Amino acid sequence: MLGSGGVSDGYKVGSKRQRMMEPNPYFAVSSSTAGFQPYGYGSFPPTHAFPVVRLRGLPFNCTDIDIFKFFAGLDIVDVLLVNKNGRFMGEAFVVFAGSLQVEFALQRDRQNMGRRYVEVFSCKRQDYYNAVAAEVNYEGIYNNDYNGSPPPRQKRISDKDQMEYTEILKLRGLPFSVTKSNIIEFFGEFDLAEERIHIASRPDGKATGEAYVEFASAEEAKRAMSKDKMTIGSRYVELFPSTPNEARRAESRSRQ
């Protein structure tokens, strides 16, 4: 159903999930040879101490891929779509590889995505942190007790058990270098075949950090949810019930 399309290891930057598990969230490794140094060593000019922008007015069917296309030519480290009570709010945060990238991104303010123009404006790193915390349902917000770093992860109360399941699960927060073998090993005792795994990628072949996995049945997929928030490498992986249609759309986008 999903095919066997692979993905190149084009991205070597950390995602929001990795950064939330690291003591110093200012450190990110660039895909370029120069790389970045921790803030304080001159990487980010004072005007954009943390290279993030906020988008508003996005179409409600917007995906990460649409945002990558909107900022084509710029080096994106992370995209966070803002949801409230499970509903997309038409806003997003985008973290870039450096301050110069932010300046270029701001020049795309009020350009169109589909039929809607998108506002692009500066924001504070705290806004981004708070949005990440809300996404994973942390309790409280970042404060001085944590010296500006994210608070310890709290156990999330989820309603995923009440959702309708098919045989498909969506994985999010994967390492960009993940392979199908890694995913099979992650699910351990579950009987998976490589041709039933699709690792999502951008049109340029770079991984998005998401994958779709087809199990033998909806019951098997629901049992596999026991792996939710477990780790592959240094990143914890979120699992969500999905559908064959969503998986096919993701596979189609990867081939564009």
Q: Which domains does the chain have, with CATH numbers?
A: 52-137 (3.30.70.330), 168-255 (3.30.70.330)
Could you give phi then psi for residue 71, rounded to 5 degrees? -105, 35
Each residue's pLDDT tens digit in the chain (256 positions)? 554 343 333 333 334 444 433 433 333 333 333 443 444 434 444 455 789 999 999 988 888 888 999 999 988 888 888 887 767 888 999 999 889 999 999 999 999 998 888 999 999 989 988 888 777 653 333 344 444 444 443 333 345 566 788 999 999 889 889 999 999 999 999 999 999 999 998 877 888 889 999 999 999 999 999 998 888 887 888 898 888 888 888 887 776 5
Q: What is the pLDDT of residue 44?
A: 43
Q: What is the pLDDT of residue 149?
A: 47
Contact 97, 28 (CB under 8 A): yes
Q: What is the pLDDT of residue 256?
A: 54
Here the tokens at position 135 are: 């996404």
Q: What is the pLDDT of residue 48?
A: 55
- Distance, in Å, from the CA atom of 65 to the CA atom of 19, rounded to the nearest integer, reads 21
- Distance, in Å, from the CA atom of 94 to the CA atom of 110, rounded to the nearest integer, reads 16
Task: Give the CA-trace dihedral at 223, 225, 229, 234, to 10 degrees.
Answer: 80
pTM to 2 decimals? 0.43
Query: What separation in angstroms does the CA of 228 have from each of 86, 119, 187, 194, 254?
Result: 17, 34, 10, 20, 24
Q: What is the pLDDT of residue 131?
A: 85
Q: What is the pLDDT of residue 198?
A: 95
